[in-house]
Amino acid sequence: MAGLYRNLAFMMHGSKHFGRQGYEAASKHFDDSVMQQRLDGRTCLVTGANQGLGRQLSEELAARGATLLMVCRDPTRGKAAVQAVQTKTGNKDVQLKVCDISDLSSVAALAAELKAGGVKLHLLVNNAGVMVHERQRTQDGLDVNFATNTLGCFVISLLLEPLLVAAAPSKVIFVSSGGMLTQKLDVDDMQNEHMRSYDGTVAYARDKRRQVAIAERLAELWANKGVGVYSMHPGWTLTEGVKKSIPSFYNFYKDKFRDPGQGTDTLVYLALQDPAKLQPGGFYLDRAPQAKHLTLGCTQYSAKEVDRLWSQL
């Protein structure tokens, strides 16, 4: 019953705040002065950068002069995306880094390459994500949803910590989802092995809840190192990934979705805003920290539960 209530409450709340209507209402109160800032001389890394939100964000960062590292799994699509971003923005300091975030050896290789190159990283955006609806395993035998959405972004953040500290003040942003509001912090079935039938939507929402918890803990651990950590919800944004992964949801709400620019607005805001004006570990939507739990949703968790999550990742 609790799960049913959360799903209903989520849809009611989301229908008002997560779509285009919610963005337009919130944007009436935006102060756009921060959005005029530049990123010249700052190195930014975006995972899942060749399409959707990652591609849109890459264009926004490159247009502001950032040295941009676009992390993509497919080298052919990645190369095309890099060339397109360079052409559109006029910024030639945009580089392709090939890495499969679900593959820990690939993540480790990327981190080693960046360290060897002496990179100082000012911004890490953990955007890469999947929603697979049938049970699939990585070459390491891990559930694909978990490996990409939880473990991969956790590991790359830890491995790149020295680069972030070297560039301080720096930031890490996890592209989470409002769908996490429907789920508790699941630590006992992270591989989704005990589902009666595999549900990719639930697996994804569980991962996104874990991302919020990871961001909270990293914000605490890195507070004195000059690294700010945040999570955010892009709202219900129209992307090819949404069309493919949740077609029924897309068909029902397709006239109410945000466009990619509206979906990435908060990401750009977090990248540009003075860290002193941001909430460490905050979960953001439309440039403001949001509640991380639905009223009466019974999804709160303790520090000990986050400790358990940490010990099992």
Start-to-end C-alpha separation, the chain: 30
Q: How far is CA 256 from CA 15, 16, 56, 179, in A?
A: 9, 10, 19, 17
Radius of gyration of the chain measured on its C-alpha atoms: 18
Rounded to the nearest 10 degrees, what angle do helices 20-27 and 2-17 cross at? 60
Q: Between β-strands 123-126 and 94-98, what pairing exists: parallel, antiparallel or unpaired?
A: unpaired
Active site residue 204: yes
Q: What are phi and psi of 99, to 5 degrees?
A: -160, 135
* Biggest alpha carbon–alpha carbon distance for the chain: 54
User: Taking a C-beta distance cutoff of 8 angstroms, is the pair 269, 35 a contact?
Assistant: yes
Local structure of residue 101 (DSSP, 8 states): T
From 5, 23, 198, 204, active-site residue:
204
In terms of Cβ atoms closer than 10 Å to its own Cβ (0-12, 13-18, 19+), residue 158 is middle
Q: Is the dihedral of CA 184, 189, 191, 197 positive or negative?
A: negative
Peptide bond into 234 cis (omega under 30): no
Q: Are 236 and 14 in contact (CB under 8 A)?
A: yes
**Using the 8-state DSSP alphabet, how is residue 259 labeled?**
P
Token pair 């303790």 is at which residue? 302
Is residue 173 helix, strand or coil?
strand
Which residues are tagged catalytic?
Answer: 204
